[in-house]
């Protein structure tokens, strides 16, 4: 599989078999909380089309749908035989580093479809919308997103146990991940969303929609409490500048893994100090504070250092267990736990702040 380069275009190549022809085909990208994007197809000949889509759009796309104008807008649907059953699907997507999707489809039939709703006050059923769908037979194995959407069209609206079993079976499923991102608010607690999220592979967790799911269950409100500054011995608010992001770094003088993170933290400070304030919060008790102060001077730490001073209630409310631990606070006073283990986590921190 070819490696994807940043900014590289991706392509869909479509071959149509049968009597159905089009003069105007386009592919539509559906995204979360954004209007759809459309990309016109390039007609190679009577049966072959190519669609070019920027990688920046692919990264944020829940799925893609093929459409035609003949002259009204028609949907294009797919019929595939899976385990002896003929199933229907509409959506495709690029899996991981896939740069090209090839679809060979054969015209089957056109169906007029109606979306109706019964209105009790009128005591009748009214038509909300109607459209035509051109259905094509296809080998669903040509696109993994398509085959999974055919098999599990209701994924995201199922019970927790069913979703858990399916994600465990395929922790790299882009379809399961995007569907979970679309349905996090449907009868699912934050605890359930979190447990489902952590069943996905590390790569999927760090993907664009993996981070959206993470943000959905991980944010909480935080108060601007005061702690003692280890240098001045004066009380200070944990958030000094509410117009910036604030990163709370929980550490201690005796914590070897915490000391190993100092180079990463200095890198973050150098790159992001204009938009991010960093604050060390040591959980050292009073007897060990002198050791903490020596460490801060030895490492020439340029950001503030505050003492939790055995405030167990505050430590529990922030869910601080193993250290190092990190809480990122945005200007709206929403806080979230974040990881800072490697370069991917630093990139995630960059993207969180840049996006807002």
Give the per-residue SS3 of the chain.
Answer: CCCCCCCCEEEEEEEEECCCCCCCEEEEEEECCCCCEEEECEECCCCEEEEEEEHHHHHCEEEEEEEEECCCEEEEEEEEEECCEEEEECCECCCCCCCEEEEEEEEEEEEEEEEEEEECCCCEEEEEEEEEEEEEEECHHHCHHHHHHHHCCCCCCCCHHHHHHHHHHCCCCHHHHHHHHHCCCCCCCHHHHHHHHCCCCHHHHCCHHHHHHHHHHHEEECCCCEEEECCCCCEEECCCCCCCEEEEEEECCCCHHHHHCHHHHHHHHHHHCCCEEEEEEECCCHHHHHHHHHHHHHCCCCCEEEECCCCHHHHHHCCCCCCCEEEEECCCCEEEECCCCCHHHHHHHHHHHHHC
26 and 126, same domain (yes or no)? yes
**Does 181 lie in the same domain as 59?**
no
Q: What is the pLDDT of residue 356?
A: 62
Sequence-distant (≥ 6) Cβ neighbours of residue 174 within 8 angstroms: 93, 95, 96, 144, 145, 204
Domain final residue, candidates 98, 116, 151: 151
Based on C-alpha coordinates, what's the Rg of the chain?
A: 26
Between CA 229 and CA 247 the distance in angstroms is 16
212 and 227 assigned to the same domain: no
- Whether residue 127 lies inside any domain: the answer is yes
Domain boundary among 151, 170, 198: 151
The pLDDT value recorded for residue 336 is 85
Question: Same structural domain for residues 317 and 207?
Answer: no
* pLDDT given for residue 133 in this prediction: 94
Return the pLDDT at 175. 97
123 Rama sector, left if φ>0, alpha if ψ -120 to 50, beta otherwise: left
CA end-to-end distance (rounded Å), the chain: 34
CATH number of the domain that residue 302 is part of: 3.40.30.10
Q: Does 137 share its domain with 168? A: no
Tell which residue, 142, 45, 159, 132, has the closest CA to residue 93: 142
Q: How many domains does the chain have?
A: 3
Whether residue 250 sits in one domain with residue 126: no
> What pLDDT is attached to residue 40?
95
- As a whole number of angstroms, the distance between CA 356 and CA 352 comes to 7
User: What are the φ/ψ torsions at residue 233 (nearest 5 degrees)?
Assistant: 65, 20
For Cα atoms 317, 318, 323, give the angle at the middle one, nearest 5 degrees.
130
* Judgement on whether residues 26 and 146 belong to the same structural domain of the protein: yes
CA distance 127 to 309: 65
Give the pair of three-digit tokens for residue 59. Answer: 């990264």
Structure tokens at 234: 């004066």
Residue 196 structural domain: 160-219
For residue 155, which phi and psi values (nearest 5 degrees)?
-60, 135
The stretches in the chain having pLDDT less than 50 are: 1-6
Q: What is the pLDDT of residue 353?
A: 83
pLDDT attached to residue 355: 67
Write down the pLDDT at residue 5. Answer: 41
Picking from 198, 219, 240, the residue at the C-terminal end of a domain is 219
Q: Is residue 75 part of a domain?
A: yes
Instruction: Output phi, psi for 241, to 5 deg.
Output: -130, 100
> Residue 142 domain-assigned?
yes
Q: Can you say how many angstroms the Cα of residue 276 is from the centroid of all Cα atoms in its chain?
A: 22
Query: Residue 234: which residues within 8 A CB-CB, separation 6 or more?
Result: 228
pTM attached to this predicted model:
0.66
């Amino acid at each position: 599989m070819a490696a994807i380069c940043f900014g590289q275009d991706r392509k869909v190549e479509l071959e149509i078999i049968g009597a159905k022809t089009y003069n105007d085909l386009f592919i539509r990208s559906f995204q979360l909380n954004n209007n759809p994007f459309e990309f016109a197809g390039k007609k190679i000949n009577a049966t072959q089309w190519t669609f070019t889509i920027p990688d920046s759009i692919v990264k944020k796309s829940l799925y893609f749908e093929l459409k035609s104008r003949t002259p009204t807008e028609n949907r294009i649907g797919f019929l595939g035989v899976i385990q002896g059953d003929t199933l229907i699907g509409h959506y495709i997507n690029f899996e991981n580093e896939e740069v090209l999707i090839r679809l060979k489809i054969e015209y089957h039939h056109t169906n007029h479809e109606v979306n109706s709703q019964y209105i009790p006050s009128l005591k009748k059923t009214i038509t909300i919308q109607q459209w035509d769908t051109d259905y094509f037979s296809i080998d669903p194995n040509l696109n993994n997103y398509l085959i999974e959407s055919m098999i599990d069209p209701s994924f995201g609206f199922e019970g927790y146990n069913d979703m858990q079993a399916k994600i465990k079976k395929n922790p790299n499923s882009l379809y399961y991940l995007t569907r979970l991102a679309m349905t996090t608010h449907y009868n699912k607690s934050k605890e359930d969303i979190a447990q489902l999220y952590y069943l996905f592979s590390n790569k999927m967790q760090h993907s664009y929609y993996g981070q959206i799911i993470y943000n959905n269950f991980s944010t909480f409100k935080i108060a601007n409490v005061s702690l003692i500054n280890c240098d001045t011995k004066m009380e200070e608010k944990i958030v000094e500048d509410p117009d910036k992001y604030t990163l709370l770094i929980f550490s201690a003088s005796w914590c070897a893994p915490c000391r190993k993170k100092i180079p990463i933290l200095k890198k973050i400070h150098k790159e992001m100090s204009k938009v991010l304030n960093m604050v060390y919060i040591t959980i050292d008790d009073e007897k060990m504070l002198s050791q903490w102060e020596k460490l801060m001077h030895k490492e020439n730490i340029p950001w503030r250092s505050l003492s939790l001073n055995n405030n167990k209630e505050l430590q529990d409310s922030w869910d601080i267990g193993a250290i190092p631990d990190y809480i990122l606070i945005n200007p709206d006073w929403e806080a979230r736990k974040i990881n800072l283990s490697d370069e991917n986590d630093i990139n995630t921190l960059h993207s969180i702040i840049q996006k807002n």
